[in-house]
Structure 1
Amino acid sequence: MSEKRSDKRPSLHLEISRAVTPLNEKDADSEARDIAAQARDSDLPRIAALLEGKGPQRDFLAAVFELSDFLRDTARRNPRFLEGLLDRNASERVAAILNEIAALPRAEDVNEASLMASLRLLKSEAHFLIALADLAGEWQPERTVRALSDLADAATGAAVDFLLADAHRQGKLKLKDLNHPSVGSGFIVLGMGKLGAFELNFSSDIDLVVFFEPESEAVIDPFDATDLFSRLTRRLVRILQDRTEHGYVFRTDLRLRPDPGSTPLAIPVQAALHYYESRGQNWERAAMIKARPIAGDLQAGAAFLKELTPYVWRKYLDYAAIADVHSIKRQIHAHKGLGEIAVRGHNVKLGRGGIREIEFFVQTQQLIAGGRFPELRGRATVPMLAQLEQHGWITREASETLAARYWFLRQVEHAIQVVADEQTHTLPDDDEGLERIAHLLGYPTTDAFSQDFRAALHDVEGHYAALFEAAPQLSSGIGNLVFTGDVDDPDTLQTLANLGFQRPSDICRVIRNWHRGRYRATQSAEARERLTELTPALLEAFGDTRRADEALLRFDEFLAGLPAGIQLFSLLQSNPRLLRLLATIMGAAPRLAAIITRRAHVFDGLLDPALMTDLPDRAYLSARLAAFLDGISNYETVLDRLRIFADEQKFLIGVRLLAGSIDAFRAGKAFSDLADLTVGAALDAVQDEFALRHGRIKGGRVCILGMGKLGSRELTAGSDIDLILLYDHDAEADESDGERPLAPSHYYSRMTQRLIAAVSAPTAEGILYELDLRLRPSGNKGPVATHVDAFRKYQETEAWTWEHMALTRGRPTAGDLSFCEEVAQIVAEILARPSDAAKVFADAVEMRKTIETEKPPRDLWDIKLIPGGLIDLEFIAQCAALTGNVEGESRHTGRGQVLARLKPELANAQIRQELSEAYAFYSGLTQVIRLCLTGPLDRNDLPPSMADLLLTVADAPDFSVLEATLKDTAANVRSHFNALLKAGGKSRKSATNG
């Protein structure tokens, strides 16, 4: 609906067809009035009157500003952006902005600083108006993504034109026409991915690839051309993505260029063509489908893509090419999970039934058929669905349903991102966050949105599976699989070799043992029959792991421990997704495979239909632990049950991480909550058992202070536990009241030794956790239990800088509740004491230098120890916490939380973002490595399936790209470490934390 304009009440040219309502009417009204006051202060009376009045437009704006922090803050800073809609609609104003951006390079007084400022302000206004038009329902999502893409094109084009003209003025280039600098320049900027397809999302970065023609007439010195155009590209990235007081234009990613770890930022055309034709990877073929010249020499860009046509679009497909196409499935990584599709915490892009599944199907079918049908070579997803339907590759119903669901999911993606202008695709997992998204999309309730969202995901997932099943059969069946008798069947050996098994004869022998009923799980005839039917699917699944022999042998160990097999074999036969997950565990995750082999019954947890929808948070784990221990009082039995429970839950948390149901951050919290609860239960059991003989100390209280990754809630599957045990008691208490009384210090030391044994000593059920108490006062020289007063005194008078740094991650995790609260307050007070910032920074730099000397990293994948790795991030966060450089009154122990809250005085917004992104990147990789491996990662002996998992969690298309990203991230973090702690310490000699 729209309002008629009148002289009495201003009205926007905005058609509102979506019923957006706020979470809180009073808050919405307050936000609108605040922005109205800002408008009056900015001499914008019409906007002020609109926001102070009544009517649908005012209600819509008030709701939007209450629901979206980004739009509210933008309107507060620049209420004039709204004035652009008083005289024309969003389409007209955005078109005018694009024209203004295009004219920027030709302004007489333009320089790089003024260009950056103007681009940021114009982009901010366009972003704001596009969001309003989208949320109002005036624009359909296809119009929104096109406008965002046009905006990126215009900004990139303006920056390129400016840089080329600047190079001409400096005598580096000789351009034909300064009014059109890009024409004939030979500087080619391709937009990739969603930008290339005109499908950019609201907070997307832009993927660019830059090439150049050394023989272009504009190039003065061909031998200098690589350096020249690489410098221009580096400046282009800075102009677009550096954060200033005006924000940024677009985050820019150049990692889709050929071999990004070893090539310059701008690559000569002939070198690029040679690379693609001789070494190009499958994912690069798929990426080039969407490539589009967006800036620079557009004619040269089109000619380059034409040259690439035979590489991308192959006319004839042999079996090897088909295998290539299917390998893209592993490389593009559509995440697949189990159980019911989730709403909370679901990744709209990468999750099951998400946007990526639609895109992946379209791209693979294009690669298969595009060589013969030029009509299937388009960049955009939805038009290609229609073309696939016209050519008989999919049904009309599939095409129409997937098209509708694609745009629905894009709307959800925009709503997620418009809240805070963050590059995220994940729905919130809390009630308020999910309700906010529902309201932005015009739903009255979360339930109504959840119902439509689930239906969309189910539709996409169903068609995604059916589309592959319905695709033309381009190869024959799996081949011979005969395991009878004692002699290997030659055709079976060949089939196994084709599937990827390195030792086909040994595999035949293992499978013959299955069919001979030598395990309990295969003793019945029915079990052997079910297993025979399942064997081809098993072998294919293990072959797909690309460590087929290892995967099958681990499965054999698992089978040997099963008490029965019929139920499992039937389940795997009817649930291919579960079979794939089992194969992934066996092929890529030796740590999880060891758990499932040792405790076959943990597999039962995978049968829970709510496994992937129930987040393993503290309440969830606590309820299950209580049920698991219910009715058990025997001390030894409790300790064994805790080991069983912890093993099972570690396995199930790991499975959720593998399946993409939770991310690395949630996995870290879940592993930490599990440790809190199980070690806390062990402490309770130890105290009760110890009291049977030694009684209790009057007023005695105990607190476990979690340190390290436990304290910061960042445990991984393989982490040991750092802790300090603190105690307190009545001042007059001399000894315990049991039959064998002990003095308090002796009592708590003995009890702590008992706790260490209860948690770390191996029993028939293994160990619970390895404990490390070396962070206690005086380290290994001090008592294992520390009186709280001694702890406070030590920290205030004797502790070294590194001990205070370690304490920034300290968190009470178990023990007496009131005492834990007191300990938390004591820790906060110790950390809040005045500190010499320069000394803290200098000490941290020296410690880092010592670590590098005494414990150098093994290789690039020693993510903790590499220069610019996790230790650098940890030291930045700890130093910031010690010197009062963290925003907010509440204390956070998590490194990611601290890095995101660094004060502007220490780190500007761009540095905060880069450090936070680096931490998330490292954390994701570390969680997968620790989940899968029991030792260090050997790059030369990496299970291919695990390599796929690392690519998935990093959202990287290829391992060379991942390693290049790892190198770039480490270099960037080290640069910030030096700037913040080395240089920063020198400039803060008088700074204190007070």
Structure 2
Amino acid sequence: LLEHLGKLGFRKPAMVAQTVQHWMLDDDYRALRVESTRQAFLDFVPLLIVGLADAEEPDSAVIAFDRFLQALQRGGRLISLLSQNRDLVALVALVLGAAPRLADMLARQPQLVDGLIDPRFFGAMPDRRELSLRLAATLEDANSYEEFLDRLRLFGQESLFLIGTRILSGTVTAPQASTAFADVAEGIAQTLHGLVLDQFVAQHGRIKDQETAIIAMGRLGSREMTASSDLDLILIYDFDHDAPDSDGPRSLHGAQYFARLTQRLISAFTTRTNYGVLYDVDMRLRPSGRSGPLASRIDSFSDYQQTEAWTWEHMALTRARVISASPAFRAKVEAAIRDVLIRPREHGIIANDVAEMRQAIAEEKGEDDIWDIKYAAGGTVDIEFIAQYLQLVHAAEMPAILSVNTQQVLENAARLGVLSIEHAEVLRRAARLFNDLTQILRLCVSEGFKPESAGADLMRVLARVSNEPDFSSLEARVREIQSDVREVFKQIVEGEG
């Protein structure tokens, strides 16, 4: 056996043999306690070993599969599918070896593997219309509010798993994944908005001429989401000033009505059911932050943004995007946001505010770890702040610079002549690399990434998505690009050079 394992490519055949022996003899694996499943697995072991030997790091794949098997709740169908598809074994081995987060999801919900054998898996990513149809089909026969929430969570987790697996397998690009994650979150948010509103109206009725809009901020707003992104949301509302009470059996007055509605919406996202949490929701970007009301009336929102908001709030507003509202109210909210962004501003004041905010973040988060891609000196935050600064100081004369997407802002700024071609190329190249790396790291690492303790599979994936021959080449490239970005930040925002 040891000789056979060695020929297959395992570097530690004794360890592999011992692990296989545990699979075949021990009763520690919950999923194998059903006799039919156990027998199917034993018949499958020879093919499994051959499949795991095809992994980039065969010994690590065996260890990862053993860890997965210990966590597996039930496995009859999964084992059957794996035994019939050697390519699927290799794909699952990659997931298990590089992305423990996805492996844990698969262990809890083995049915997720069905998506990997769907003929559509390696095709084009579903657009928003197709996602909407799939979501509707998932929810159509839900019999209760609780079942509705469970099915939404299953849909979200399945989508995350499938998008994540495609990132690992190299069959989607990082920008495609960012858009796909955002489309899933947006579809779920729109669905929940309607569901929660209907439930709320059944209890409390409606206020005359009421309107509500969900504004996505941050990564959802810019459609640059990752597997671990939370949702930065603001809820905006309006109603007839002269008739502020709802007409339901449990009537509520004006602001109280919409505060309660917002609480209900947040709860629908964040309540932990049997299938976990849908998304973490962050409402801190609302006017006045934690001290302000959960929801804002449209005129109050506009007044605050025009007269009281700090520069950092206007920076955040550059990525604001209405994701759920009636067409008329959507247009009204979008116009209010645009009016704020195209207001004339003093360049020097904005530059000073942006530089001070960047320094404050560096003092709080640190900026010396190059693998903290977001906060490192010359990292993602530097690029985002440059894009936001350029919009705030130039949008009054050049509204065409505006976009919620960072890379599109850089394109617009270069085209309009407010960003040099040289600087634009540095920033675009960096933004692409950082997005590629961030998608992988957020998918595969729950804490900060440390190369010295990272698995070989993950380091190979990082090098591959960056088109580098090995990890050391990637590390050198990251250092160089971050240095270039920091120099551009100094020249544009801090006025050096």
Query: TM class, shorter-chain normalised?
Result: over 0.9
Partner of 2:99: 589
CA contact (8 A) 2:52 2:90 kept: no
After superposing the two structures, state which structure 1 stretch, 919-928 or 606-615, moved more. Answer: 606-615
Alpha-carbon spacing, 1:820–1:512, altered in 2? closer, same or farther (3 Å):
farther
SS at 2:324's partner residue? strand
Normalized per residue, which structure has more helix? 2
Render the CA deviation track for 1:495-520: whole Å, top value 9, x for unaligned. 99734786864553234348999626
Residue 832 in structure 1 maps to residue 342 in structure 2 = yes
Render the CA deviation track for 1:245-272: whole Å, top value 9, x for unaligned. xxxxxxxxxxxxxxxxxxxxxxxxxxxx
Give the number of the structure with larger relative contact order, counting CA–CA contacts within 8 Å between residues 6 or more apart.
Answer: 2
- 2:45 aligned residue (532, 535, 542): 532
Partner of 1:547: 60
Render the CA deviation track for 1:164-199: whole Å, top value 9, x for unaligned. xxxxxxxxxxxxxxxxxxxxxxxxxxxxxxxxxxxx
State the percentage of identical aligned residues: 37
Residue 934 of structure 1 deviates from its aligned partner by: 2.1
Report the Cα distance in structure 1 between the residues aligned to 2:257 and 2:13, rounded to whole angstroms.
60
Report the Cα distance in structure 2 between the residues aligned to 1:516 and 1:669, rounded to whole angstroms.
38
Partner of 1:937: 449
- 1:913 aligned residue (425, 441, 466): 425
Which segments of 5 or more consecutive residues in structure 2 lack a partner in the other structure? Answer: none
CA contact (8 A) 2:400 2:412 kept: no
Partner of 1:648: 158
Residue 972 of structure 1 deviates from its aligned partner by: 0.2
Render the CA deviation track for 1:394-413: whole Å, top value 9, x for unaligned. xxxxxxxxxxxxxxxxxxxx
Partner of 1:498: 11
Alpha-carbon spacing, 1:917–1:497, altered in 2? closer, same or farther (3 Å):
closer
Partner of 2:201: 691
Alpha-carbon spacing, 1:700–1:624, altered in 2? closer, same or farther (3 Å):
same
Matches within 5 A, 1:745-764: 745-764=255-274
Alpha-carbon spacing, 1:557–1:813, altered in 2? closer, same or farther (3 Å):
farther
Partner of 1:606: 116
Alpha-carbon spacing, 1:517–1:589, altered in 2? closer, same or farther (3 Å):
closer
Render the CA deviation track for 1:347-380: whole Å, top value 9, x for unaligned. xxxxxxxxxxxxxxxxxxxxxxxxxxxxxxxxxx
Alpha-carbon spacing, 1:922–1:521, altered in 2? closer, same or farther (3 Å):
farther
Report the Cα distance in structure 2 between the residues aligned to 1:680 and 1:538, rounded to whole angstroms.
42
Give the TM-score, by structure 2 length. 0.93
- 1:847 aligned residue (348, 351, 357): 357
After superposing the two structures, state which structure 1 stretch, 632-641 or 880-889, moved more. Answer: 880-889
Residue 480 of structure 1 deviates from its aligned partner by: 4.5
Matches within 5 A, 1:351-500: 479-480=3-4, 498-499=11-12
Alpha-carbon spacing, 1:958–1:501, altered in 2? closer, same or farther (3 Å):
farther
SS at 1:940's partner residue? helix
Matches within 5 A, 1:711-726: 711-726=221-236
- 2:22 aligned residue (509, 523, 526): 509
Task: Specify the code of the residue in structure 1 equivalent to 2:407.
Answer: G
Task: Specify the code of the residue in structure 2 equivalent to 1:826.
Answer: A
Residue 633 of structure 1 deviates from its aligned partner by: 5.1
Report the Cα distance in structure 2 between the residues aligned to 1:679 and 1:538, rounded to whole angstroms.
40
SS at 2:374's partner residue? coil
Partner of 1:893: 404
Matches within 5 A, 1:845-884: 845-857=355-367, 859-884=369-394
CA contact (8 A) 1:899 1:912 kept: yes
Alpha-carbon spacing, 1:699–1:520, altered in 2? closer, same or farther (3 Å):
farther
Render the CA deviation track for 1:937-994: whole Å, top value 9, x for unaligned. 121111110111101110000111101100000000000000011117x9xxxxxxxx
Render the CA deviation track for 1:456-501: whole Å, top value 9, x for unaligned. xxxxxxxxxxxxxxxxxxxxx97357xxxxxxxxxx9x99973478
Report the Cα distance in structure 2 between the residues aligned to 1:563 and 1:532, rounded to whole angstroms.
14
Report the Cα distance in structure 2 between the residues aligned to 1:629 and 1:910, rounded to whole angstroms.
50
Alpha-carbon spacing, 1:759–1:795, altered in 2? closer, same or farther (3 Å):
same
Alpha-carbon spacing, 1:743–1:518, altered in 2? closer, same or farther (3 Å):
closer
Alpha-carbon spacing, 1:511–1:499, altered in 2? closer, same or farther (3 Å):
farther
Matches within 5 A, 1:557-706: 557=70, 559-565=72-78, 567-572=80-85, 576-632=86-142, 634-706=144-216
Task: Specify the code of the residue in structure 2 equivalent to 1:900.
Answer: E
Render the CA deviation track for 1:506-536: whole Å, top value 9, x for unaligned. 5532343489996267625761453133232
Alpha-carbon spacing, 1:556–1:951, altered in 2? closer, same or farther (3 Å):
same
Task: Specify the code of the residue in structure 1 equivalent to 2:136.
Answer: A
Alpha-carbon spacing, 1:587–1:729, altered in 2? closer, same or farther (3 Å):
same
CA contact (8 A) 1:667 1:716 kept: yes
Matches within 5 A, 1:283-362: none
Aligned CA-pair RMSD: 2.6
Which segments of 5 or more consecutive residues in structure 1 lack a partner in the other structure? Answer: 1-476, 482-491, 987-994
CA contact (8 A) 1:520 1:563 kept: no
Render the CA deviation track for 1:263-320: whole Å, top value 9, x for unaligned. xxxxxxxxxxxxxxxxxxxxxxxxxxxxxxxxxxxxxxxxxxxxxxxxxxxxxxxxxx
Partner of 1:792: 302
Residue 693 of structure 1 deviates from its aligned partner by: 1.3
Give the TM-score, by structure 1 length. 0.48
Task: Specify the code of the residue in structure 2 equivalent to 1:926.
Answer: T
Alpha-carbon spacing, 1:554–1:525, altered in 2? closer, same or farther (3 Å):
closer
Residue 953 in structure 1 maps to residue 450 in structure 2 = no
Render the CA deviation track for 1:710-754: whole Å, top value 9, x for unaligned. 110001001111111111111222211111100110011011111
Render the CA deviation track for 1:24-72: whole Å, top value 9, x for unaligned. xxxxxxxxxxxxxxxxxxxxxxxxxxxxxxxxxxxxxxxxxxxxxxxxx
Report the Cα distance in structure 2 between the residues aligned to 1:552 and 1:977, rounded to whole angstroms.
45
Report the Cα distance in structure 1 between the residues aligned to 2:375 and 2:287, rounded to whole angstroms.
25
SS at 2:175's partner residue? helix
Residue 620 of structure 1 deviates from its aligned partner by: 2.2
Report the Cα distance in structure 2 between the residues aligned to 1:713 and 1:897, rounded to whole angstroms.
11
SS at 1:901's partner residue? helix
Render the CA deviation track for 1:206-250: whole Å, top value 9, x for unaligned. xxxxxxxxxxxxxxxxxxxxxxxxxxxxxxxxxxxxxxxxxxxxx
SS at 1:498's partner residue? coil
Alpha-carbon spacing, 1:516–1:847, altered in 2? closer, same or farther (3 Å):
closer
Alpha-carbon spacing, 1:725–1:634, altered in 2? closer, same or farther (3 Å):
same
Residue 925 in structure 1 maps to residue 437 in structure 2 = yes
CA contact (8 A) 1:521 1:559 kept: no
Alpha-carbon spacing, 1:538–1:724, altered in 2? closer, same or farther (3 Å):
same
Report the Cα distance in structure 1 between the residues aligned to 2:333 and 2:433, rounded to whole angstroms.
33
Alpha-carbon spacing, 1:769–1:565, altered in 2? closer, same or farther (3 Å):
closer
Report the Cα distance in structure 2 between the residues aligned to 1:797 and 1:888, rounded to whole angstroms.
21
CA contact (8 A) 2:37 2:75 kept: no
Q: Give the count of matched residue pairs.
A: 495
- 2:485 aligned residue (966, 969, 973): 973
Report the Cα distance in structure 2 between the residues aligned to 1:729 and 1:660, rounded to whole angstroms.
48
Partner of 2:249: 739
Partner of 1:817: 327
Task: Specify the code of the residue in structure 1 equivalent to 2:456.
Answer: P
Report the Cα distance in structure 1 between the residues aligned to 2:388 and 2:365, rounded to whole angstroms.
20
Report the Cα distance in structure 2 between the residues aligned to 1:546 and 1:868, rounded to whole angstroms.
37
